[in-house]
Structure formats: structure tokens, C-alpha cells
């Protein structure tokens, strides 16, 4: 096969309009919340299972309009056969999201008089009418320099594979066949045509969609071979000049995946933050991500999770089992038949490594498609944020009294950390800490007043 120069944009779905803890305790905390894609109004999701030059790519469809207006257009390196396209299980993408989402954990301090107090610093995405005159359509296509290479149906989708000689002809063909093309599509299609790409076009067959019983369109999954490991995002920018969020889940038998043409940066993690964040973790994470994104000049990919799929700590969801991994596109499982028990389930023993990358992109900051590479780095990483509850009982020992005195510095550090991560005002954070009860007990009130006096507030 020809090298895959462009596969699908985050989500490349031209929808409608082409529509288109403390160090001493490591990771043994109690998981309380996760920051998944539900935090974002529009977060495209792509799953890439890759080994060698073979790839299975799954595109999640978040289209919310009338199904008859939905279409997905994907540049592909060659004419795909029906067996290379299938309809995926939407639950699998949700499982990957839940498993890899940044998470909030909490710890509780022990009585300092009965146990030495440990260090508290944080680890560091309308079918054409069946009555359409096929002969006329074929003549029109030829006149436009567009060739219909293949037609087939997969699930609720009617799929056409096209080739084109020039972008104007392709644009006209799409318009004549019911696609609403936004301004700018012609120019962005040119590079794909110059590289002799084919175009995978899928529309919804309404009768078959109703038969499925699903309320939402299911993901499309494409299998292909290519020496290039990349994901186009430029076409997905046609419809908007605003920021777009893309979550990419990469499954590999090797290790972490990273971008080669943009920097990959770890999301800020392992930070102790005030207890009141427990009730507003979603808002906290969105603010923190925006702050980090801005500080990195809005042109990096953030690593939110990297872990061996056979385990998790703390677990926001169980690892995917063998059947779920196959549905996610992992095709090399049979090469590793060993399995291990995990909390009552049986999961593959671990030649699957998951990397979760979060890319927020705009036209000006991401002028190139995303180019990836696999690495042998199997270092675990997760976006993890820590709530450390103080001991509130009576203390009757010197260690206890020293512990109580240390809380002033600790809580102020938590406030400062939260302000730095989110750009929230420090005065508001301190006020929330007191109102939410973190510093409300009589044994703590006095030191809080002292802290405020130190700061001149």
C-alpha cells in the first residue's frame, strides 16, 4: 500500500457542513472523581491500535444533528475493501476514556500520636436515494474528474470510495450528491489530491440506522497499513476558527507514543490541592488545562495518561478485558495468550500499553497534521490530584502538637499550588478553604489567622 499521508482528522468529521498523596504511600489512594471527555462540549475522540506498520483506527461520532445530514469524509491512501471497514462499539471508547481519565484521589492522615506522620508533599465524527440514476451519476463524475472506485454498505453507513483529479471537481461532486461544503474546503482538499489520496465518504442509511435501535451513530473503524504514523487534523479545522479538543488513545505493544512535529508535554500532576476541589473537580481540571495550554503557547500535546493495560493505580475503571481490547482494534492479542486475574476479571497479561494524548488546536498554532512515533518507554504516568484530609481528633503528644502547627504551612502551600495551576485568585481560594470547613475547627482557626497576618490580609 502507498504510505498513509493523511488518514482522519480529529475527527475529520465534516458533520453537516461536510460535517465535517503523599510520597510515602505512592499510588494507594482512594479514587473519588475523574476528568473525562464529558467535561468538554466538543471533544473528538480517536482510538489508534498500532503494531509495526498495521493500524486499526476508530473514529468516535459525536454528531448531534439529524442523521440524514451526517457525512464523514476521510482521505485514505488506497481503495479500501469492505472487509477493511466495520462499525465499532461506542462503549469501547467510553471505557478507554474512563480508564485513562485524569483522576482525583484522597488520603486521610492518621493520628500523629499513634503513628509517625509521613511526608505530605505530593508526587512530585442522507444516504443517496436508491432511485438515483447511476448512469447519470457516473457520467457527471467522469466530467468532473471524479471516479467512484467502490461502493458498499457497512452497518448503518453507505460508503463510497472516490478518487479525484482536482479539488474543484471533487467539491462539485460532493455538492451535487447532497454534501454542504463550507468555504475553504476546496483549498484544503488540494494537498490530498496532489498526493493521489482516495476519499472515503460515509453517509447514513436511515432505514438501517432505525433498525439498529441506537439513538446515536456508532463509530467507524478502518484498518490499513502504512509506514507513516499520523493523524490529519487540517480538514477538521474547516468549520471553525475556534479551539477544538482532540483526545487520542493509542494502544501499542511497545510503550508510550508521542508527537514528532509538536512537543508532547506531561499534564501537571501529583499535586496536593484544597479539599473543596472535591465538589468541583471538573471545573478545576478545565481551568488547570487551560492554564497549562496557555503557558505552553497553545502548541503542544498533553500526555494525560500512560500505563500498561494490565493494571492501574488508582483505578478509575477496570482495565479492558480481551474482548474489549479486540473491539478497540488490538489485533496482536493472539500473539500473547497469557492472561492474569484482576479484581475478579481476566485480562490479557500485558503487551498492550495505552497512551492518552489531549490536543487542543487552532489553525494558527497547528498548521501541520499530527505525526506520531512509538517509543519503548513504558514509564507509568497519570494526571492525578490529591486531597489530603488532616487529622481532626484530639492530640495529646508532642508529635501531635507539632503536626497541628505544621498544618498552617501545608494548607497555605495547597492554596498556592491551586492558584498556580488554575490562575484562580489566591484570596478566593483561601476564603473557600475556610467556608468549606477545611480550616474551620478551633484547633486550626488560630493558625489560619496567623497565616493571614503574615500575608498582610
Contact between residue 141 and residue 121 where contact means Cβ atoms under 8 Å apart: no
Q: Which of 452, 446, 341, 369 is nearest to 401 (CA)?
A: 446
- The pLDDT of residue 6 is 36
**Residue 362: HSE in the Cβ half-sphere, 13 Å Cα cutoff:** 10
Q: pLDDT value at position 303?
A: 98
pLDDT at 343: 55
Tell me how crowded residue 150 is: count the other CB atoms within 10 A of its CB: 14
How many whole angstroms separate alpha carbon 259 and alpha carbon 268? 18
**Residues found in the chain:** 457
Q: What is the pLDDT of residue 296?
A: 97
Q: Give CA–CA dist 54/455, Å, rounded.
A: 59
What phi and psi values does residue 3 have, to the nearest 5 degrees?
-60, 140
Strand 353-361, strand 345-348: pairing? unpaired
Regions in the chain scoring below 70 on pLDDT: 1-31, 64, 115-142, 179-184, 238-241, 334-350, 439-457
How many other CB atoms are found less than 10 A from the CB of residue 5? 19
**At what angle are helices 442-454 and 398-422 packed, to 10 degrees?**
50
Angstrom distances, CA of residue 433 to CA of 258, 273, 394, 454? 38, 10, 21, 17
Q: What is the DSSP letter of 310?
A: T
Tally Cβ neighbours within 10 Å of residue 417. 19
- For the entire predicted model, the pTM comes to 0.82
In this prediction, residue 240 carries a pLDDT of 59
Rg of the Cα atoms in the chain: 26
Amino acid at each position: 500500500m502507498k504510505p498513509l499521508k493523511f488518514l482522519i482528522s480529529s475527527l475529520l468529521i465534516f458533520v453537516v457542513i461536510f460535517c465535517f498523596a503523599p510520597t510515602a504511600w505512592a499510588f494507594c489512594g482512594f479514587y473519588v472523581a475523574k476528568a473525562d471527555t464529558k467535561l468538554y462540549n466538543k471533544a473528538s475522540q480517536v482510538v489508534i491500535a498500532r503494531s509495526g506498520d498495521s493500524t486499526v483506527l476508530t473514529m468516535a461520532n459525536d454528531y448531534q444533528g439529524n442523521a440524514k445530514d451526517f457525512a464523514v469524509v476521510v482521505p485514505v491512501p488506497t481503495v479500501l475493501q469492505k472487509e477493511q471497514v466495520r462499525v465499532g462499539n461506542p462503549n469501547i471508547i467510553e471505557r478507554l476514556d474512563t480508564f485513562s481519565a485524569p483522576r482525583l484521589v484522597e488520603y486521610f492522615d492518621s493520628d500523629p500520636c499513634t503513628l509517625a506522620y509521613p511526608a505530605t508533599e505530593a508526587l512530585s465524527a442522507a444516504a443517496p436515494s436508491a432511485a438515483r440514476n447511476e448512469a447519470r451519476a457516473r457520467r457527471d463524475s467522469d466530467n468532473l474528474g471524479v471516479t467512484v472506485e467502490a461502493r458498499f454498505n457497512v452497518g448503518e453507513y453507505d460508503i463510497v470510495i472516490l478518487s479525484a483529479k482536482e479539488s474543484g471537481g471533487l467539491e462539485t461532486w460532493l455538492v451535487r450528491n447532497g454534501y454542504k461544503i463550507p468555504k475553504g474546503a476546496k483549498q484544503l482538499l488540494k494537498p490530498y489530491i496532489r498526493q493521489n489520496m482516495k476519499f472515503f465518504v460515509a453517509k447514513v442509511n436511515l432505514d438501517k440506522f432505525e433498525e439498529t435501535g441506537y439513538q446515536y451513530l456508532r463509530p467507524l473503524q478502518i484498518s490499513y497499513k502504512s509506514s507513516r504514523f499520523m493523524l490529519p487534523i487540517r480538514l477538521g479545522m474547516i468549520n471553525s476558527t475556534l479551539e477544538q479538543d482532540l483526545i487520542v488513545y493509542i494502544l501499542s505493544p511497545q510503550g508510550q507514543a508521542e508527537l514528532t512535529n509538536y512537543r508532547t508535554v506531561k499534564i501537571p500532576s501529583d499535586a496536593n490541592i484544597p479539599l473543596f476541589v472535591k465538589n468541583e473537580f471538573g471545573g478545576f481540571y478545565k481551568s488547570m488545562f487551560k492554564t497549562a495550554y496557555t503557558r505552553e503557547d497553545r502548541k503542544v500535546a498533553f500526555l494525560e495518561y500512560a500505563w500498561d493495560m494490565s493494571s492501574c493505580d488508582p483505578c478509575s475503571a477496570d482495565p479492558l478485558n480481551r474482548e474489549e481490547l479486540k473491539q478497540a482494534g488490538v489485533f496482536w492479542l493472539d500473539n500473547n495468550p497469557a492472561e492474569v486475574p484482576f479484581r475478579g476479571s481476566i485480562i490479557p497479561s500485558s503487551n498492550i500499553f495505552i497512551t492518552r494524548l489531549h490536543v487542543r488546536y487552532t489553525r494558527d498554532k497547528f498548521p501541520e497534521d499530527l505525526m506520531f512515533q512509538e517509543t519503548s518507554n513504558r514509564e507509568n504516568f497519570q494526571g492525578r490530584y490529591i486531597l489530603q484530609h488532616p487529622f481532626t481528633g484530639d492530640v495529646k503528644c508532642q508529635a501531635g502538637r507539632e503536626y497541628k502547627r505544621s498544618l498552617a504551612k501545608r494548607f497555605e502551600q495547597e492554596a498556592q499550588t491551586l492558584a498556580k495551576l488554575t490562575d484562580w485568585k489566591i484570596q478566593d481560594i483561601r476564603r473557600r478553604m475556610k467556608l468549606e470547613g477545611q480550616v474551620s475547627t478551633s484547633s486550626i482557626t488560630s493558625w489560619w489567622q496567623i497565616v493571614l497576618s503574615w500575608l498582610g490580609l
